[in-house]
Amino acid sequence: MQFIDLQTQRARIEADVDARIRAVLAHGRYIMGPEVAELEEQLAASVGVGHCVAVSSGTDALLVALMALDIGAGDEVITTPFTFVATAEVIALLGAVPKFVDIDPVTYNIDPSLIEAAIGPRTRAIMPVALYGQCADMDAINAIAARHGLPVIEDAAQSFGATFRGRRSGGLSTIGCTSFFPSKPLGCYGDGGACFTDDDRLATLMRQAMNHGQDKRYSHPRLGINGRLDTLQAAVLLAKLAIFDDEVERRAGVGARYTALLQAAGARSLAEARDGLLTPHIADGNTSVFAQYTVQSDDRAAAIARLDAAGIPSAVHYPIPLNRQGAYAHHCCPDCTPLADRAAARVLSLPMHPYLSADDAERVVAALTGAD
């Protein structure tokens, strides 16, 4: 069994991908070719925003968003410590300071009720993450941000395709950023990402930032990076986008099956219990794309060993909160986010992809619960 099976999807879209790659090789516009603009248009429509700027990775999407907002030395950006390192990395790369706020233990996302206390005179933005594929409480976060005149950047690297109160992740705040890393819900065959916004000015600034700060050829009014998405990756994404809605449905089905099987085997929902084997809880008003299907266990090492013995891969997302990582610990208080610590010690992600069979889900649950 594979943790994420990309080959079943590959077989499904092979003809389309191959034709689109051949078309790029034929026209030869490898950088900023027509597929990039076509993809941006489709992605913006799918998220429901005015602008999409395709970029070279999810990390660069976040970096370009912060650059467009002029975030730099001495500024503070409020975010969660329970995320992939890129979220805080881009803040620190610009000389700003990540201010880590603890999580809601049920959704794993930043707890909006703790944000206001972290806002200070240097706070310049709030950066929630939609961990494992479900959005943070973006209405609550946007309301706090509006009271303080702050922009909100959603790290939607794991949640492209998810919805929050009927609206699409990525289009819920000032800027949304996503990743097309191969294992993400919408992945390409290399690195890729995108920024979304309804703000015309920010869209222009992000487009400049990802292309050497250039407004026209050899004119560079602002600092930028080489953060463009390859035309070949845009071509791959166009083929994948054509089946994406179906894949999102399949992911929801796999998630629901896991939850039903686990609860039938005695697991409880994270919404009801704090100890034991716990299934994820999708908050009211949210749909998840299950970038990860992540359970909690009192004895994670034993759970991993049981899965291993059955030939089932698993992963820990993430074992160490960022405020305990060497690169960030000096910025912050490592002991100030106990709920992130507790989650980091207990979470375990199971094999998850749109084509995971019912049999495989049963095998995973049997091995995990020791019923095999």
Number of residues located near ligand PLP, criterion CB under 6 A: 15
E runs forming strands in 14-86: 51-55, 76-79
Secondary structure class of 164 (helix, strand, coil)? strand
Instruction: Kindly state the smallest distance separating residue 205's Cβ from ligand PLP, in Å.
Output: 20
> Is residue 86 within the footprint of ligand PLP (CB under 6 A)?
yes
Tokens 């299950």, residue located = 290
> Is residue 84 within the footprint of ligand PLP (CB under 6 A)?
yes
Which residue type, as a one-letter code, is found at position 50?
G
Per CB under 6 A, the list member of 67, 97, 157, 237 interacting with ligand PLP is 157
Q: Strand 51-55 and strand 193-197: pairing?
A: antiparallel
Instruction: Kindly state the smallest distance separating residue 134's Cβ from ligand PLP, in Å.
Output: 12
- The contact pattern for ligand PLP, residues 1-40, with x = CB under 6 A and - = no contact, is ----------------------------------------
Please answer whether residues 290 and 354 qualify as being in contact, where contact means their C-beta atoms are separated by less than 8 angstroms: no
Query: What region, left, alpha or beta, does residue 347 occupy, with left being phi > 0 and alpha being psi -120 to 50 degrees?
Result: beta
Which residue type, as a one-letter code, is found at position 162?
A
Site for ligand PLP in 53-82 (CB under 6 A): 57-59
Residue number with the smallest Cβ distance to ligand PLP = 58
Phi and psi of 188, rounded to 5°?
Answer: -100, -165
> Is residue 100 within the footprint of ligand PLP (CB under 6 A)?
no
E runs forming strands in 111-263: 123-127, 153-155, 163-164, 167-168, 175-179, 193-197
Tokens 């975030």, residue located = 71
> Is residue 98 within the footprint of ligand PLP (CB under 6 A)?
no
Instruction: Kindly state the smallest distance separating residue 339's Cβ from ligand PLP, in Å.
Output: 18
Per CB under 6 A, the list member of 158, 163, 173, 323 interacting with ligand PLP is 158
Tokens 């953060």, residue located = 227
> Is residue 162 within the footprint of ligand PLP (CB under 6 A)?
no
Name the site residues for ligand PLP (rule: CB under 6 A): 57-59, 83-84, 86-87, 129, 155, 157-158, 179, 181, 191, 193
